[in-house]
């Protein structure tokens, strides 16, 4: 018996050493076992020529090329690979061995990292709000707060999606990467306070989007490890899927020899700066699918020659299709936060509780400061610690005024504030919209993005209503008992919150006297931006790009509202559902070509509802 135990311990120790050495050997070992199809972009051998027929010389031709291995792109590529040859191109690296991505306690570190190899890419909208976009396989699921909740039934109906396929696709995602959270004490207090102010009923734990207060799902498991959309790639056929990381697509290539432009391939740059071309097969069913996100997809269309003609001409981009709506209608759900100081230690928690009101306001919460020993050893500002608002600036943004204002705000923040929590108030379905425009033709640079937060008075009024709700929560007996702090006045609550805020919006001395002013000057993002490629203006109802063939979009850029309280569940579902729709439709086309008739009614219904 002792010998058996010793043998087991030895084997465990050997496997642990092997895993440790593999993780330290370099970034190329992530694909050896579970993901053998993931490779560095420089390993790709491409043809050197491109013919007007849309085919490159050589054998590298794919049924589908998916640009962007993010929240939608990973499930999209995984299921398509069951029947078709698929190439997935991701500009970032892999998340699997990245501790900053993988663990809840390090949530804020990636968002505070503005280096070129970070999993997040920092940008500032023209509104002065600090923001981030994902740059890693798995996309936003690698850098978000992990909250998982489905879209409303209204959103599903409006999108024209088949409810059965949608439910099956949600379930497919949930079985693999979604968990029921262990509810933190702070989150229970938030629940009780929401119910006290009338955000009822309590719906318990549910993924569904229903009015009242609930606990939602999370992509963090019981050990605090993040499960991302990249893990959905494990369901792929490894013989039919190729995933290239550090593959930065420069533009879509078009065959212009026919009546309509036809997507034929893509030009991408590898991690060494070398250019490659990848092409679609000559089959009519083949497509390039853009899943670059609400910032990256309209940017990619513009760089590829699809957009407003005057903007393309200004940037000396050859026009493929004039479309004035590319980049229009950009929206972001404005968020404002109320800081709650504690006199007691508090467990770190991200989003677990949500209040879904009938006034178009969502209430969420976070608590604790989870900085680990591996963290950047400095104060990032409260927002960095709690909800990932960036508090470092790239060189181009380091104006003397911005630096001095930022340093002053950081000096004014007491260290004990990091032991507090936040009530997060977010506007559902903002009416205010803006636009995205190219700054230059370098795809690695952020475009100019404007969201026009609170431009519409209805959005501003909803923020005021939400802040009033949040201050009532903080003043409730549930909060005072938990925080061990005395009940505070509204002015004091707002003054503390203003000092904690980090953005580049100019401040006034009276921003706590007017709730409207408070909303405007403390506005933040929770990264739920969307739009830029709306249905009926840039894409058809089945998300095919208007004016060209063999080009489709599957990501949040087609949304005119962010689904549910948090969109990641629906974006992953969207990738999976799109795959099912596409696969069934292509099977139908194949059978028609073979002379097979008598398609079943169910298939016809699916096609009509795509």
Q: What are the distances in angstroms from CA 421 to CA 193, 336, 414, 439, 555?
A: 14, 13, 14, 38, 32
Any known ligand binding at 527? yes
Q: Distance (Å, rounded) from C-alpha 264 to C-alpha 543? A: 18
Q: Which helix (H) or strand (E) holds 494?
A: helix 490-500
Compute φ and ψ for 556, nearest 5 degrees. -70, -5
Q: Quick check: helix, strand or coil at residue 421?
A: strand
Is 415 a residue of the active site? no
Is 308 annotated in a binding site? The answer is no
Residue 522 vs residues 34, 432, 505, 512, 525: alpha-carbon distances, Å: 44, 17, 8, 10, 10
Determine whether the annotation assigns residue 556 to a binding site: yes
Q: Cβ neighbours of residue 26 under 8 Å, at least 6 residues apart?
A: none
**Which residues in 239-383 belong to E strands, given as ranges?**
241-245, 248-255, 262-269, 275-280, 287-290, 306-307, 321-322, 328-330, 334-340, 353-356, 361-367
Q: Compute φ and ψ for 435, nearest 5 degrees.
A: -155, 165
| Sign of the torsion angle spanned by Cα atoms 96, 101, 102, 106 | positive
Cβ atoms of 87 and 309 within 8 Å: the answer is no
Q: Tell whether residue 420 is among the known ligand binding residues.
A: no
Largest CA distance in the chain: 79
Nearest residue to 112 via CA among 338, 383, 293, 350: 383
- 91 known member of a binding site: yes
- C-alpha 86: how far from chain center: 22
Nearest to 367 by CA among 145, 147, 565, 186: 186
Catalytic hit among 60, 209, 478, 528 = 528
CB 146 within 8 A of CB 350: yes
Q: Do residues 190 and 245 lie in contact, with contact meaning Cβ atoms separated by under 8 Å?
A: no
| Residue with the two structure tokens 């933040």 | 524
Q: Cβ(452)–Cβ(434) under 8 Å?
A: yes
Dist CA 577 CA 574 (whole Å): 5
Binding annotation for FAD: 90-91, 136, 249, 527-528, 556, 567-568
Q: Indicate which residues carry an active-site annotation.
A: 528
């Amino acid at each position: 018996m002792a010998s058996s135990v010793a043998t087991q311990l030895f084997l465990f120790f050997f496997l642990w050493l092997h895993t440790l050495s593999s993780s330290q050997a370099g970034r190329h070992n992530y694909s050896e076992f579970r993901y053998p199809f993931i490779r560095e972009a420089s390993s790709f051998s491409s043809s050197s020529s491109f013919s007007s027929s849309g085919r490159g010389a050589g054998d590298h031709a794919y049924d589908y090329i998916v640009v962007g291995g993010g929240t939608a792109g990973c499930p999209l590529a995984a299921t398509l690979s069951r029947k078709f040859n698929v190439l997935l191109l991701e500009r970032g690296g892999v998340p699997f061995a990245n501790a900053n991505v993988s663990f809840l306690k390090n949530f804020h570190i990636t968002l505070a990292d503005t280096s070129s190899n970070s999993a997040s890419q920092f940008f500032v909208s023209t509104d002065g709000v600090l923001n981030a976009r994902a740059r890693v396989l798995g996309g936003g699921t690698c850098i978000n707060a992990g909250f998982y909740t489905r879209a409303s039934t209204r959103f599903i109906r409006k999108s024209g999606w088949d409810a059965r396929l949608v439910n099956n696709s949600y379930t497919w995602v949930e079985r693999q990467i979604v968990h029921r959270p262990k509810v933190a004490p702070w989150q229970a207090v938030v629940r009780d306070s929401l119910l006290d102010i009338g955000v009822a009923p309590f719906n318990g734990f549910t993924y569904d989007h229903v009015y009242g207060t609930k606990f939602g799902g999370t992509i963090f498991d019981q050990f605090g490890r993040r499960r991302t959309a990249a893990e959905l790639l494990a369901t792929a056929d490894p013989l039919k899927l190729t995933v290239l990381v550090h593959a930065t697509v420069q533009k879509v290539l078009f065959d212009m020899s026919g009546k309509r432009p036809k997507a034929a391939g893509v030009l991408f740059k590898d991690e060494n700066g070398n250019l490659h071309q990848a092409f679609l097969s000559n089959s009519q069913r083949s497509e390039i699918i853009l899943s670059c996100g609400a910032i990256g997809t309209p940017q990619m269309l513009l760089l590829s020659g699809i957009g407003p003609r005057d903007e393309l001409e200004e940037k000396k981009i050859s026009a493929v299709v004039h479309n004035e709506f590319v980049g229009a209608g950009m929206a972001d759900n404005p968020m404002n936060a109320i800081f709650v100081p504690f006199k007691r230690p508090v467990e770190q928690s991200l989003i677990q509780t949500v209040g879904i009101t009938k006034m178009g306001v969502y209430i969420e919460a976070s608590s604790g400061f989870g900085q680990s020993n591996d963290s950047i050893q400095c104060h990032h500002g409260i927002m960095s610690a709690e909800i990932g608002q960036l508090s470092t600036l790239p060189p181009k943004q380091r104006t003397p005024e911005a630096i001095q204002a930022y340093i002053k705000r950081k000096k004014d923040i007491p260290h004990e504030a990091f032991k507090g929590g936040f009530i997060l108030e977010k506007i559902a379905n903002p009416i205010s919209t803006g636009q995205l425009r190219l700054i230059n033709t370098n795809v690695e640079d952020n475009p100019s993005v404007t969201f026009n937060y609170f431009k519409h008075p209805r959005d501003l009024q909803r923020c005021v209503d939400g802040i009033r709700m949040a201050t009532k929560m903080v003043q409730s007996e549930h909060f005072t008992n938990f925080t061990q702090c005395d009940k505070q006045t509204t002015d004091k609550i707002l003054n503390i919150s203003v000092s904690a805020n980090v953005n580049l919006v100019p401040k006034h001395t009276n921003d706590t006297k007017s709730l409207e002013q408070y909303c405007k000057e403390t506005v933040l993002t929770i990264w739920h931006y969307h739009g830029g490629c709306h249905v009926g203006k840039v894409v058809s109802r089945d998300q095919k790009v208007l004016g060209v063939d063999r080009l489709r979009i599957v990501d949040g850029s087609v949304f005119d509202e962010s689904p549910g309280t948090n969109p990641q569940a629906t974006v992953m579902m969207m990738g999976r559902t799109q795959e099912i729709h596409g696969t069934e439709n292509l099977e139908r086309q194949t059978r028609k070509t073979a002379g097979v008739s008598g398609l079943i009614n169910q298939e016809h219904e699916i096609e009509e509802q795509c």
